[in-house]
Chain A
């Protein structure tokens, strides 16, 4: 698909989106470190 406008915006947006996801997942993991598990046994 020869569409430079779409691909430039898509790649830039994907980088920002995944950056947000990794920051969120990292902070969440850091906050949970050493905390008890709240999920019930399945």
Chain B
């Protein structure tokens, strides 16, 4: 395998990360103490940086290897995986991201404490950090696959190289480093994708894309070329993906932390026009490459997992392979970086500062966060070689956060009861585990249904019923006696006292 390509990829990533990372770390040293420089870039990020970071945080391994593989089986309908993220980002940017920034919180468990108190905060903190760490292991696995495809390294060894780069992506200057490195990487990535499409088209055997179309039409699979596939695929894949993505990710720390670091609510609203198309349309490139790979007899022999990477290696010139690999690796690194910073932030804010050192200085918080980033990142890449396949794991992981979504909505706009929140989460998580590890789905005749459906239904049902029957306080965004809430009301909000 071509070690020159690998060297070029590594040189680009290392130069970018060290250049920007050390520059911002030096800037942070010069700034006055206080604030959240490392965790939230002192809430000074402009719209372009916030937008690109939100777009790249939810664009990683599943968008790349997941979509290559999905397009093999369901064709262009796989693009709905990308479109589901368009819905997610629109929903998040117009609702939860704005609310988190409005409350000036640093972590989502801190937000939960304001709505429901300390016990729900701890429950959400533990589960959310676990969920994000689970995503971190999957991202490590994806990076391991990239290196294993390019070289004769094992997935485990590749994950270690990727993991070290991922830690460096965040450890120098935190949120600011991630944001600005992401901005450069996004530009490089899209130029690489456009050049790749041009070269694939130019390098195709006689007949070009006409031959790709004929391949599917002759095999009586014309639906593979359509975004709308078949009605069955739209219900079982497109709708299910939209639901699981929106309900699970829109309250997730890793997606909301860049928004918490934005200059203002107005800044977050502007990100809609940048983040959504950048993320959603990426999937079209991946699905089209996947479709072409299946129609290429040489690449197709390698099967759904390796056909697309093999076709790219066979068709593109070495310099473009290096560019594309650097781009795809950057997409994974950005997700890895946010997925390590987010649980480290939860630990620093909700455990270290909350329980052990309420008067922690910015320097102490920065040190604890850096240590946690290294520990969590290293733990993730060390287990990456033993994980289940990426797509199988992702649905199960996502389902854990569904009750938190309902609790946030109800706690902000209707009523908040700490006990109702605790019971809703505990029961939903028991149901989620029973759905995965017992014969419950078979007993109910729902074998094969993803965890997100029972989690959503049980979470919503319990949340509504328990809040209806248990005493509680009015929603956090409900003004006193029906009046409108103001900035002054919100500035006075503290942790909800125990009932």
Contacts and interface: CB of A to CB of B under 8 A. Distances in A.
Interface of A: 1-6, 8-10, 12-14, 16-18, 20-21, 23-25, 27-28, 35-40, 42
Contacts of A27: 94
A10 B485 CA distance: 43
Given A21-B273, A36-B487, A38-B487, A28 B94 contact: yes
Given A5-B288, A36-B484, 9 more contacts: A3-B208, A10-B281, A17-B83, A21-B276, A24-B93, A25-B94, A36-B485, A39-B266, A40-B264
B90 A13 contact: no
B284 A6 contact: yes
A2 B232 CA distance: 31
Contacts of B95: 28
Contacts of B198: 1
A24 B272 contact: yes
B264 A2 contact: no
Contacts of A2: 201, 208-209
B487 A13 contact: no
Contacts of A10: 281, 284
Nearest to A10: B284
Contacts of A9: 76, 79, 227, 284, 287-288
A21 B281 contact: no
Interface in B259-299: 263-266, 269, 272-273, 276-277, 280-281, 283-285, 287-288, 291-292
A8 to B, nearest CB: 8
7 contacts: A6-B197, A13-B79, A13-B227, A16-B83, A17-B281, A36-B485, A39-B265
B288 A38 contact: no
Interface of B: 76, 79, 82-83, 86-87, 90-91, 93-95, 102, 197-198, 201, 208-209, 212-213, 225, 227, 263-266, 269, 272-273, 276-277, 280-281, 283-285, 287-288, 291-292, 484-487, 490
Given A9-B287, A38-B265, A17 B486 contact: no
B296 to A, nearest CB: 13
A42 B213 CA distance: 55
Contacts of B82: 13
Nearest to B212: A5
Nearest to A6: B288
B78 to A, nearest CB: 10
A36 B486 contact: yes
Contacts of A35: 484
A10 B292 CA distance: 15
Given A3-B197, A6-B197, A39-B266, A14 B281 contact: yes
B416 to A, nearest CB: 20
Contact of B225 (A1, A5, A25, A39): A5
Nearest to B83: A16
B212 A24 contact: no
A2 B288 CA distance: 13
A23 B86 CA distance: 12
Nearest to A12: B227
B265 A17 contact: no
Contacts of A5: 209, 212-213, 225, 288, 291-292
A2 to B, nearest CB: 6
